[in-house]
């Protein structure tokens, strides 16, 4: 990593202001100087990158519109040079889609410029105060809150649901989805949006709770409650305070199901060995990769507990149903591991991107994260190539897009109208994608929303995909 001025040893505090409106830029700089803050000014994207290449900045104030680049596109490049910096995007006109895109790209905030530059300066001073507190207490910089990355309709629906339930702070939420889809990330996003700043986030893996200590770990215990209980101990419910308690793999919870139900109904619990009632102040979020409804039918899970947990269910989609998010996630992990390993890594080239987009990711987002971490470790020259990808990713491309690829497009020249041809192309794409509409839309070069509209117009509601192994066909709604 290049040698850079300032702050690598923890001394000083520098700010970079990037804005092509020279008068506004200088006004911010002068106000920061009066507050005793060192700052540099840049009037273009290229100048900002040049400044960040040789100097570390604690705060970057970045204009959305620049003469030579889009500010939002600069965010990952600036943060790769100043990892951990607080980056705030400034704009003359607030637009929610732009704000969402900026936050997902790594910005801490997206603010509208005001006539007075004082609010911006106050924001910078607040970051400086936080840094000084951490330095005095010898604590590492706090990790940025995780957010859901992607712009697919499937993940945007999840974001919308999380934003809605955030307004109901005590409502229990059930997150459902396959292993690795990001259920804990969803829980942390909900926590950030709905709980007091600085409140605890406590995660309990129900599948790994030891049977003889499960009750104590969850509810706590009093001294002498059982052999070995030599002192009072708070359980997860108490430790969560006014924050969030995540009960992961809730389907694995055994004998404690009835006690948990009682707590959710009354929001009161007791430590093991104590009669003193304690209030549950945290929001409870449960997560599972199982079909809890099926476990209810087989008697493995209490129906009343299932109904209590399922007040607000959210299904997190597998990565194969949001393929348009693969590259955004891959680039996020690329930047993450490049910073962690202190390496300069080039953006993914087209061939690597195509291989990743073609892969079906049975392990979902977690598998993609592991693949990118491995690739960054292997890319000693700073460039991720296809040879750095696992064999299973490369072999998937050779067999893709699936069992229906051999199905021909039955086009009859002179007989079929354009409407007929469009309908056949849609059916063909759906068969090739195995009935996955997001992938079919990608094959057709249109959005999933456009595909749904055209399917509705053509009266396409079901597609039968033949299983080439000799079994019966599968029908996709």
Average pLDDT of the segment spanning 13-30: 91
- The answer to whether 154 and 292 have CB atoms below 8 angstroms apart is no
Task: Report the predicted TM-score, pTM, of the whole model to 2 decimal places.
Answer: 0.57
Pairing status of strand 278-279 against strand 268-269:
antiparallel
Angstrom distance (rounded) from CA 329 to CA 392: 19
The 10s digit of each residue's pLDDT in 121-174 is 888 888 787 666 555 444 444 444 456 888 888 999 999 999 999 988 889 999
The full set of domains in the chain, from first to last, is 14-136 (3.40.50.2300), 153-315 (3.40.50.300), 320-399 (1.10.8.60), 418-476 (1.10.10.60)
> How far is the CA of 403 from the CAs of 154, 423, 433, 474, in angstroms?
25, 20, 9, 11
Structure tokens at 385: 């190539």
- Residue 135 confidence (pLDDT): 55
Q: How many CB atoms lie within 10 A of CB 454?
A: 17
Q: Could you give the count of Cα atoms lying within 13 Å of 222 in the half-sphere of its Cβ?
A: 11
Pairing status of strand 201-205 against strand 312-315:
unpaired
- Residue 96 confidence (pLDDT): 66
- Residue 129 confidence (pLDDT): 77
Residue 309 has pLDDT above 50, yes or no: yes
Length of the chain: 477
The 10s digit of each residue's pLDDT in 247-295 is 999 999 988 999 999 999 998 888 888 888 888 889 999 999 999 999 9
Residue 465 has pLDDT above 60, yes or no: no
Least confident of 8-17, 123-132, 361-370: 8-17
Angstrom distance (rounded) from CA 27 to CA 24: 5
Evaluated on CA atoms 383, 388, 392, 395, the torsion sign reads positive
Query: Which carries the bigger pLDDT value, residue 129 or residue 377?
Result: 377
Percent of the chain scoring above 90 in pLDDT: 35
Cross-strand bridge partners of residue 205: 248
């Amino acid at each position: 990593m290049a040698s850079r001025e300032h702050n690598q040893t923890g001394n000083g505090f520098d700010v970079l202001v990037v804005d092509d409106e020279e008068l506004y830029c200088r006004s911010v700089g002068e106000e920061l100087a009066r507050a005793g803050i060192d700052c540099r000014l840049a009037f273009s994207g290229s100048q900002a990158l040049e400044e960040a290449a040789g100097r570390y900045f604690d705060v970057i104030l970045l204009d959305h519109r620049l003469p030579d680049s889009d500010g939002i596109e600069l965010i990952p490049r600036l943060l790769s040079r100043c990892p951990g910096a607080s980056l705030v995007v400034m704009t003359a006109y607030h637009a929610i889609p732009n704000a969402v895109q900026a936050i997902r790209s790594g910005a801490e905030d997206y603010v509208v410029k005001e006539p007075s530059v004082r609010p911006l300066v106050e924001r910078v001073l607040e970051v400086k105060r936080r840094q000084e507190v951490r330095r005095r207490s010898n604590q590492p910089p706090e990790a940025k809150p995780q957010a859901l990355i992607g712009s697919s309709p499937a993940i945007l629906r999840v974001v919308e649901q999380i934003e809605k339930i955030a307004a109901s702070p005590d409502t229990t939420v059930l997150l459902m989805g396959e292993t690795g889809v990001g259920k804990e990330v969803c829980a942390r996003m909900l926590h950030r949006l709905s709980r007091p700043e600085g409140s605890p986030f406590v995660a309990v893996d129900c599948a790994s709770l030891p049977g003889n200590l499960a009750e104590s770990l969850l509810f706590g215990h009093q001294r002498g409650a059982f052999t070995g209980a030599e002192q009072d101990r708070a359980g997860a419910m108490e430790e969560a305070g006014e924050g969030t308690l995540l009960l992961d793999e809730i389907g694995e919870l055994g004998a404690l199901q009835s006690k948990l139900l009682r707590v959710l109904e009354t929001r009161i619990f007791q430590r093991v060995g104590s009669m003193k009632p304690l209030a549950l102040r945290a929001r409870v979020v449960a997560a599972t990769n199982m079909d809890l409804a099926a476990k209810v039918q087989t008697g493995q899970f209490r129906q009343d507990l299932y109904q209590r947990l399922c007040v607000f269910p959210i299904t997190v989609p597998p990565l194969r149903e949001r393929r348009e998010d693969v590259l955004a996630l891959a680039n996020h992990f690329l930047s993450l591991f490049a910073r962690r390993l202190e390496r300069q890594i080039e953006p993914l080239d087209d061939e690597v991107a195509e291989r990743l987009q073609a892969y079906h990711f049975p392990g979902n987002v977690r598998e993609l994260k592991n693949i990118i971490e491995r690739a960054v470790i292997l890319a000693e020259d700073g460039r991720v190539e296809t040879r750095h990808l696992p064999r299973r990713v490369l072999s998937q491309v050779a067999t893709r897009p699936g069992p229906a690829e051999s199905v021909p497009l039955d086009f009859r020249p002179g007989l079929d109208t354009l409407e007929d041809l469009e309908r056949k192309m849609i059916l063909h794409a759906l068969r090739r994608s195995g009935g996955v509409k997001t992938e079919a839309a990608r094959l057709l070069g249109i959005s999933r929303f456009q595909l749904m509209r055209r399917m509705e117009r053509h009266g396409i509601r079901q597609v039968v995909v033949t299983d080439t192994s000799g079994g019966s066909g599968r029908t996709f709604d």
